[in-house]
A and B are shown apart, each in its own frame.
Chain A
């Protein structure tokens, strides 16, 4: 029913479904298992998880848009002229992401020192968060060329980031609880975290594919 609703939906409903799909049913971390490294390490502390989550959310949204512009504005036209630009998208997207993060660091340092110190350490880490590159690449295959142009991409990017944010916040909360729980000795730290991630993923994976956008 949801699948049908998606295709026949009004623009706003459709876009909402894009958002929900990206954030929940196609959660980039819990259903596609991307971005696990920072997820596992940063979810230890609530405050850092919050900071990291917000940083990822911001960067994914912006880079999805930038890469969309790059893809449709530069790469696709070029490939019509014989330049195999489309096949370069992996390399070029990551370069754009790295440059964007660097730029963001400079801008944030200038605008707000507080924010810079709060987020600053995470920004270089974000470049290597594979969820960000993954979002851009999925954007190309799943999202472009299906109408609504940039709005769809924006919401897809935002939704992906939101999904990652939700995942890391959930994990941070659970790990907080785990501090006082009796964890079997060998599983402390990454072990129990991965097990919990798996269990969380089960809940999310069940809904995968429910919303066909």
Chain B
């Protein structure tokens, strides 16, 4: 009995002390690690945020709805969250140094997940980041375009409007369902013009075994609630007046469908030839819409091509691989700009043709996902 009491008393003494120390530490944290309210000045007075200090700059900004990109989640390894900190960033931390070049350090570029907001701080944030938000929407329409391509139209619920440049993409969230244990995000280009800003349209091709595309094709129904973030990406029209060649296949139509309608609305008249590749006739879609645009717009030419066996060239369709068609049509030494959207294989083949025709890297633009 004595032994038991001894053990219990010992345990009580040990726990007692540990509890006292833990309480002391919590109190100390409340008092010491309290940085009060700090002001974040963005883009030299453009915007001011009042925040509670003590967290990393990255976490603080994300808490305020500014989605600074981060791949490693604030661990200080990916360096995606670089921002210029003009003031209040204090000394460069040892964890940031290996991730920055000397020029960047001289320019006050910091790794924002390693900078702690301890006082008023002034940062420069690129405009594009302001527009990335999380959106809640409702599926307004799912339309079959071909046997394996659907057009998805999502009406925005909250926020109600989206601002984007044609050619950008969203990250659509496929929730946990069936055999998919947790949500995943997949990127899809927006196919509606920016003027249609209360909804988002995408063109999705079913990928065998693909988590998100299978969900869209089998489970998703009109009226369902969906979530996505965006807009992302820098695939868009250049500032110049140069002639353009567009090359796409399958769901690569999406950004161009957005861009061409935008150009029509805005009266942007740049000579444009759109090469669209498919295998068989049933794989072509939006043909009527494209033909109509060709009639209405004197600067726009649509060139579909079918690479499948046994396809004949009639009603405006060409035969052969899209890259072969481009090769035939494009003059060597062309001063055109090339915009590519499609699978990596198609892009690589297209690039070869383009280089052979003299279209250089600085005049080639890619939409980087298949």
Chain A interface (Cβ within 8 Å of chain B)? 70, 74, 78, 82-85, 87-88, 91-92, 95-96, 99, 102-103, 106-107, 109-110, 113-114, 117, 121
What chain A residues lie within 8 Å of B242 (beta carbons)? none
Is B10 on the interface with A (CB-CB < 8 A)?
yes
In the bound complex, do residue B94 and residue A78 qualify as a contact, i.e. CB atoms below 8 Å apart?
no
What chain A residues lie within 8 Å of B17 (beta carbons)? 70, 74, 92, 95-96
Most chain A CB within a 10 A radius of its CB, from B9, B14, B24: B9
Chain B residue nearest in CB terms to A91? B14
In the bound complex, do residue A99 and residue B24 qualify as a contact, i.e. CB atoms below 8 Å apart?
yes
What chain B residues lie within 8 Å of A91 (beta carbons)? 14
In the bound complex, do residue A113 and residue B10 qualify as a contact, i.e. CB atoms below 8 Å apart?
no
B336 CB, nearest partner CB in chain A, Å: 53
In the bound complex, do residue B14 and residue A83 qualify as a contact, i.e. CB atoms below 8 Å apart?
no
15 CB-based A-B contacts, threshold 8 Å: A82-B9, A83-B10, A84-B9, A95-B14, A95-B17, A95-B18, A102-B25, A106-B28, A106-B29, A106-B32, A109-B33, A113-B90, A117-B93, A117-B94, A121-B94
A95 to B13, CA, bound (A): 13
Is B21 on the interface with A (CB-CB < 8 A)?
yes
A108 CB, nearest partner CB in chain B, Å: 10
Leading 8 A-B pairs by shortest Cβ distance = A99-B21, A106-B32, A83-B9, A84-B10, A110-B32, A85-B13, A84-B6, A113-B90
What chain B residues lie within 8 Å of A103 (beta carbons)? 24-25, 28
In the bound complex, do residue B91 and residue A88 qualify as a contact, i.e. CB atoms below 8 Å apart?
no
Chain B interface (Cβ within 8 Å of chain A)? 5-6, 9-10, 12-14, 17-18, 21-22, 24-25, 28-29, 32-33, 90-91, 93-94, 118
What chain A residues lie within 8 Å of B22 (beta carbons)? 99
Chain A residue nearest in CB terms to B24? A99
Task: Please classify the interface of chain B as helix (H, G, I), strand (E, B), loop, or mixed, using the class held by over half of its residues.
Answer: helix
Give the contacting residue for A88; candidates B10, B28, B90, B94; CB below 8 A.
Answer: B10
A102 to B6, CA, bound (A): 31
Given contacts A103-B25, A114-B91, 14 further A-B contacts (CB under 8 A): A74-B17, A82-B9, A83-B12, A84-B9, A92-B14, A95-B17, A95-B18, A96-B17, A99-B22, A99-B25, A107-B32, A109-B33, A113-B90, A113-B91
A109 to B53, CA, bound (A): 14
Most chain A CB within a 10 A radius of its CB, from B9, B12, B13, B28: B13
What chain A residues lie within 8 Å of B9 (beta carbons)? 82-84
A91 to B11, CA, bound (A): 11
In the bound complex, do residue B13 and residue A88 qualify as a contact, i.e. CB atoms below 8 Å apart?
yes
B340 CB, nearest partner CB in chain A, Å: 47
What chain A residues lie within 8 Å of B94 (beta carbons)? 117, 121
A38 to B218, CA, bound (A): 59
What chain B residues lie within 8 Å of A83 (beta carbons)? 9-10, 12-13
Given A95-B18, A102-B25, is A78 in contact with B32 using a C-beta cutoff of 8 Å? Answer: no
A110 to B53, CA, bound (A): 13
A144 to B86, CA, bound (A): 55
A114 to B92, CA, bound (A): 10
A121 to B94, CA, bound (A): 9
A114 to B24, CA, bound (A): 26
Given A109-B33, A113-B90, is A95 in contact with B10 using a C-beta cutoff of 8 Å? Answer: no
A174 to B9, CA, bound (A): 50
Give the contacting residue for B33; candidates A70, A74, A106; CB below 8 A.
Answer: A106
What chain A residues lie within 8 Å of B21 (beta carbons)? 95-96, 99
What chain A residues lie within 8 Å of B14 (beta carbons)? 88, 91-92, 95
A81 CB, nearest partner CB in chain B, Å: 9
Chain A residue nearest in CB terms to B90? A113
B117 CB, nearest partner CB in chain A, Å: 13
Chain B residue nearest in CB terms to A82? B9
A166 to B76, CA, bound (A): 34
A40 CB, nearest partner CB in chain B, Å: 21
Chain A residue nearest in CB terms to B22? A99
Chain B residue nearest in CB terms to A74? B17
A130 CB, nearest partner CB in chain B, Å: 20
A107 CB, nearest partner CB in chain B, Å: 6
A161 to B13, CA, bound (A): 29
Chain B residue nearest in CB terms to A102? B25
B8 CB, nearest partner CB in chain A, Å: 10
What chain B residues lie within 8 Å of A74 (beta carbons)? 17
What chain A residues lie within 8 Å of B91 (beta carbons)? 113-114, 117
Chain B residue nearest in CB terms to A111? B32
What chain A residues lie within 8 Å of B10 (beta carbons)? 83-85, 87-88
